A and B are shown apart, each in its own frame.
Chain A
Amino acid sequence: EDKVVQSPLSLVVHEGDTVTLNCSYEVTNFRSLLWYKQEKKAPTFLFMLTSSGIEKKSGRLSSILDKKELFSILNITATQTGDSAVYLCAVYQGGSEKLVFGKGTKLTVNP
Chain B
Amino acid sequence: DTGVSQDPRHKITKRGQNVTFRCDPISEHNRLYWYRQTLGQGPEFLTYFQNEAQLEKSRLLSDRFSAERPKGSFSTLEIQRTEQGDSAMYLCASSTRPLGASAPNYGYTFGSGTRLTVV
**Which A residues have a C-beta under 8 Å from some C-beta of B?**
4, 31-32, 34, 36, 41-45, 48, 50, 88, 90, 92, 94, 96-104
Contacts and interface: CB of A to CB of B under 8 A. Distances in A.
27 contacts: A41-B112, A41-B113, A42-B3, A42-B91, A43-B91, A44-B110, A45-B105, A45-B107, A45-B108, A45-B109, A50-B102, A88-B43, A90-B42, A92-B100, A96-B56, A97-B33, A97-B48, A97-B98, A97-B99, A98-B45, A98-B56, A98-B58, A99-B108, A101-B43, A101-B44, A103-B41, A104-B41
A42 B110 contact: yes
Contacts of A99: 43, 45, 99, 108
A31 B102 CA distance: 11
Interface residues of B, number: 30
Contact of A88 (B42, B45, B89, B100): B42
A100 B45 contact: yes
Given A101-B43, A104-B42, A43 B110 contact: yes
B99 A102 contact: no
B32 to A, nearest CB: 10
User: Which 8 pairs, one residue from A and one from B, show the smallest C-beta to C-beta distance?
Assistant: A45-B107, A101-B42, A98-B45, A41-B112, A42-B110, A97-B48, A92-B99, A42-B112
Contacts of A90: 42-43
B99 A43 contact: no
A100 B45 CA distance: 7
Contacts of A32: 99-100
A61 to B, nearest CB: 14
Contacts of A101: 42-44
